[in-house]
């Protein structure tokens, strides 16, 4: 069946106009008068919401199918759907600029702002299709990636997660990173098209367009992320120093010298973004507290559905509604044996009408239990705002969306895990506190510089500061600068190591995750206060608190209808993002690390 192209009248929104006898929705642009008016702006955004809901649903449906059935056909189908969406968004973004400077009501002005920053503008349909085809191919290649031995990311990640052999780890790490080599040229062309589309939308490059989505100028936003990083960097530096010292004891100083970066393949994660899997090598007080949640999940034969039901139960304990029945019918919880899928965990509202789903290859692991809570945080955000106009169906900014489930995961205290039967009753011992905080910091604190540097690399690529011939050099320079990690073997410019991280080929902005690691502690502290918690912050669980749930639901229901400082203030009482709650949470560990690192050669 051949679909008719959208008409110019529809793209410009004038189809929503009524005859001039209706003063509320009078047409404002006709042969006699082409001057934009407030009434015309209101009619335009009304029609844009209708069309975008239809096109976003069409696009997300195609993306869902492509992610769950990776074939050339599904990639082509998704590319076509996204091209149609991009065509409309391009025209809508251009049209929205015509209303700048008019005296508009706050809701209409907000919608026009969101339209202007939503999409690159590529008038040429051939280039639009080329860009969406490249996007589908890059993501599809990642999902299908295998090394010469036929090992995929799941197999290779399990080696990195569990092995303690230096050479075996290096082989798995190199094998996965080499799968992205062939995508370098495609990514370079994709960047060119993205930048062309950003210029069409009135931005210098795509990096500026991304940064404009935070209710501040791109320059101010970059300065804000730098400020937040400097706030939390001393804690990361202390953790890095301690972990490097412990890894030296296992692998030797010949492999990990003093004052040098840590080899990226030794930190228990394919991208060295979270270090929780090396806890056994760096445990402060071995044997003081059994914290092996993964072993408990395996021993008790927890399956994927039970893990998801446990996540849902946390939200419902706060007074929120259960997930709809269709969630359980339509989600993907485990990796199918009969087809290729993108296992990278994600949450969806496919039709923007409470059609909630997750897509995840769940295994009985602690990190997967945490990820379940994270993904359900997205779902409950979707559920809170799905009745808003579709332009407002988003987080206050994308970092908010990523922080919700993780704020709940902070409430997965040892006491909560004991309630679930996944941890024994732990004694009131300061050594237990340090062990628990170390385990937590290896995930939440270790991630911070990685969360910042991914987009720093892309901003530099988009701006031209990093030329295509320097992709690798710039990537590893940032990995060393921010994380203090490095490749143990030379990685020449024939490689494309950024492409070995899902969010780069999938073109998903990443600063949201850095902001989320800051915001989740702000949200958590506020929700603990609403729940009436007294005592050290790290001991709080607001599980079961209807007061905390009501406060959270109020913020979630705002969606993107207000600038993010308004949403932040609604929950926390402050309008500024801050790392102070994170530092308060880890106060015991910070003091302990200072003692442990005394006399050590820290830094890199």
Residue 584 lies in a domain: yes
What's the CA gap between 117 and 208, in Å, rounded?
10
Q: Which of the following is catalytic: 402, 516, 551, 560? A: 402
Whether the per-residue pLDDT at 82 is higher than 60: the answer is yes
Q: Look at residues 74, 93, 119 and tell me which one is the last residue of a structural domain.
A: 119
CATH number of the domain that residue 497 is part of? 1.10.1370.30
Q: Are residues 251 and 394 in the same domain?
A: yes
Number of domains in the chain: 2
Residues 343, 346, 349, 351: is their CA dihedral positive or negative?
negative
pLDDT at 24 (0 to 100):
33
What's the CA gap between 236 and 100, in Å, rounded?
43
What tokens appear for 28 in the block? 């404002």
Q: Which of the following is catalytic: 141, 177, 373, 378? A: 378
Residue 363 lies in a domain: yes
> What's the pTM?
0.88
Residue 275 lies in a domain: yes
What's the CA gap between 119 and 139, in Å, rounded?
19
279 part of the active site: no
* Gap between the terminal Cα atoms of the chain: 60
What's the CA gap between 100 and 92, in Å, rounded?
13
| Average pLDDT of the residues in 125-146 | 93
DSSP conformational letter for 579: S
Q: Which of the following is catalytic: 240, 373, 374, 397? A: 374
pLDDT at 34 (0 to 100):
58
Whether the per-residue pLDDT at 7 is higher than 60: the answer is no
pLDDT tens digit string along 155-212? 999 999 999 999 999 999 999 999 999 999 999 999 999 999 999 988 999 999 999 9
397 part of the active site: no
pLDDT tens digit string along 8-57? 222 223 223 333 333 333 333 333 345 899 999 999 999 999 999 999 99
* Contact partners, residue 33, CB within 8 Å, separation at least 6: none
What's the CA gap between 466 and 311, in Å, rounded?
42
Structural domain boundaries, residue 72: 1-119
| Average pLDDT of the residues in 430-438 | 94
For tokens 């400097």, the residue is 230
Please report, rounded to a whole number, the percentage of residues in the chain having pLDDT higher than 70.
Answer: 94
Q: Are residues 104 and 228 in the same domain?
A: no
| Average pLDDT of the residues in 148-154 | 96
Residue 162 lies in a domain: no
Residue 176 lies in a domain: no
Residue 281 lies in a domain: yes
Average pLDDT in the chain: 91
pLDDT tens digit string along 261-280? 999 999 999 999 999 999 99
378 part of the active site: yes
Instruction: Find the Cα–Cα–Cα–Cα dihedral 563, 566, 568, 571, rounded to 10°.
Output: -140
Residue 168 lies in a domain: no
What's the CA gap between 166 and 576, in Å, rounded?
43
513 part of the active site: yes
More confident residue, 121 or 228: 228
pLDDT at 330 (0 to 100):
97
Q: Which of the following is catalytic: 345, 396, 506, 560? A: 345
What's the CA gap between 5 and 514, in Å, rounded?
40
Q: Give residue 154's pLDDT band: very low, low, confident or very high (50, 70, 90).
A: very high
Contact criterion met (CB below 8 Å) for 177 and 491: yes
Please name which of 8, 3, 201, 196 lies closest in space to residue 84, comparing C-alpha atoms: 3
Contact criterion met (CB below 8 Å) for 495 and 178: yes
Q: Are residues 98 and 245 in the same domain?
A: no
373 part of the active site: no
Residue 303 lies in a domain: yes
Whether the per-residue pLDDT at 597 is higher than 90: the answer is yes
Q: Give residue 123's pLDDT band: very low, low, confident or very high (50, 70, 90).
A: confident
Whether the per-residue pLDDT at 144 is higher than 60: the answer is yes
Please name which of 298, 205, 6 lies closest in space to residue 306, comparing C-alpha atoms: 298
pLDDT tens digit string along 312-348? 999 999 999 999 999 999 999 999 998 989 898 999 9
Give the DSSP letter string of 182-237.
Answer: GGHHHHHHHHHHHHHHHHHTT-SSHHHHHHGGGSS-HHHHHHHHHHHHHHHHHHHH
More confident residue, 596 or 4: 596
pLDDT at 221 (0 to 100):
96
Q: Which of the following is catalytic: 503, 533, 584, 587? A: 503
Provide the CB-side half-sphere exposure for 123 (13 A, CA).
Answer: 6
Whether the per-residue pLDDT at 402 is higher than 50: the answer is yes
Q: Are residues 288 and 415 in the same domain?
A: yes
CA distances (Å), 189 to each of 134, 186, 195, 196, 302, in order?
A: 8, 5, 10, 11, 45
Q: Are residues 107 and 234 in the same domain?
A: no
Whether the per-residue pLDDT at 558 is higher than 80: the answer is yes
In SS3 terms, 21-87 reads as CCHHHECCCCCCCCCCCHHHHHHHHHHHHHHHHHHHHHHHHHHHHHHHCCCHHHHHHHHHHHHHHHH
Q: Look at residues 93, 119, 145 and tell me which one is the last residue of a structural domain.
A: 119
Neighbouring CB atoms inside 10 A of 550's CB total 13
345 part of the active site: yes
Q: Which of the following is catalytic: 381, 510, 513, 524? A: 513
Q: Are residues 108 and 249 in the same domain?
A: no
pLDDT tens digit string along 526-552? 999 999 999 999 999 999 999 999 999
Q: Look at residues 102, 119, 136 and tell me which one is the last residue of a structural domain.
A: 119
Please name which of 440, 433, 432 lies closest in space to residue 412, comparing C-alpha atoms: 440
């Amino acid at each position: 069946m051949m679909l008719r192209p959208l008409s110019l009248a529809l793209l410009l929104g004038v189809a929503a106009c009524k005859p001039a006898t209706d003063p509320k929705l009078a047409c404002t642009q006709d042969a006699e008068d082409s001057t934009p008016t407030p009434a015309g702006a209101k009619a335009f955004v009304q029609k844009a919401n209708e069309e975008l809901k239809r096109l976003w649903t069409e696009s997300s449906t195609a993306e869902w199918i492509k992610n769950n059935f990776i074939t050339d056909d599904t990639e082509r189908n998704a590319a076509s759907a996204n091209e149609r969406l991009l065509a409309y968004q391009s025209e809508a973004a251009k049209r929205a600029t015509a209303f700048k400077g008019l005296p508009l009501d706050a809701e209409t002005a907000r919608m026009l702002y969101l339209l202007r920053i939503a999409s690159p503008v590529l008038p040429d349909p051939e280039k639009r299709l080329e860009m969406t085809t490249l996007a589908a191919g890059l993501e599809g290649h990642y999902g299908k990636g295998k090394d010469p031995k036929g090992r995929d990311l799941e197999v290779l990640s399990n080696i990195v997660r569990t092995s303690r052999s230096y050479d075996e780890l290096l082989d798995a790490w190199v094998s996965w990173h080499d799968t992205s080599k062939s995508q370098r040229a495609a990514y370079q062309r994709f960047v060119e098209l993205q930048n062309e589309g950003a210029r069409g939308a009135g931005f210098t490059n795509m990096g500026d367009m991304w940064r404009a989505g935070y209710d501040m100028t791109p320059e101010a936003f970059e300065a804000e992320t730098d400020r937040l990083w400097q706030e939390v960097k001393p804690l990361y530096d202390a953790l890095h120093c301690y972990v490097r010292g412990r890894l030296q004891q296992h692998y030797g100083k010949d492999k990990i010298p003093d004052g040098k970066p840590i080899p990226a393949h030794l930190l228990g994660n394919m991208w060295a973004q979270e270090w929780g899997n090396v806890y056994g090598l760096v445990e402060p007080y071995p044997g003081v507290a059994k914290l092996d949640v993964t072993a408990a999940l395996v021993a008790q034969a927890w399956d994927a559905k039970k893990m998801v039901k446990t996540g849902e139960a946390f939200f419902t304990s706060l007074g929120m509604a259960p997930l709809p029945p269709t969630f359980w019918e339509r989600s993907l919880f485990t990796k199918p044996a009969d087809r290729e899928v993108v296992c990278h965990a994600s949450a969806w509202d496919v039709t923007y009408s409470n059609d909630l789903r997750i897509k995840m290859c769940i295994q009985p692991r602690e990190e997967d239990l945490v990820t379940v809570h994270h993904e359900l945080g997205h779902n409950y955000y979707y559920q809170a705002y799905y009745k808003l106009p579709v332009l407002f169906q988003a987080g206050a900014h994308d970092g908010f969306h990523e922080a919700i489930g993780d704020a709940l995961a902070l409430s997965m205290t040892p006491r909560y895990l004991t309630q679930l039967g996944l941890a024994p009753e732990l004694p009131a011992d300061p050594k237990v506190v340090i062990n628990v905080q170390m385990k937590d910091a290896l995930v939440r604190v270790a991630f911070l510089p990685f969360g910042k540097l991914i987009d720093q690399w892309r901003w530099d690529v988009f701006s031209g500061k990093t030329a295509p011939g320097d992709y690798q050099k710039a990537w590893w320079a940032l990995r060393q600068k921010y994380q203090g990690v490095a490749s143990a073997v030379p990685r020449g410019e024939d490689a494309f190591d950024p492409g070995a991280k899902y969010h780069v080929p999938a073109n998903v902005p990443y600063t949201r995750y850095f902001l989320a690691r800051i915001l989740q502690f702000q949200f958590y502290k506020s929700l603990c206060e609403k729940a009436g918690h007294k005592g050290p912050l790290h001991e709080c669980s607001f599980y079961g608190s209807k007061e905390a749930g009501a406060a959270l639901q109020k913020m979630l229901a705002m969606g993107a209808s207000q600038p993010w400082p308004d949403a932040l203030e609604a929950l926390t009482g402050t309008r500024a993002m801050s790392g102070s709650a994170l530092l308060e949470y880890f106060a015991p560990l910070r003091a302990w690390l200072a003692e442990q690192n005394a006399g050590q050669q820290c830094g890199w």
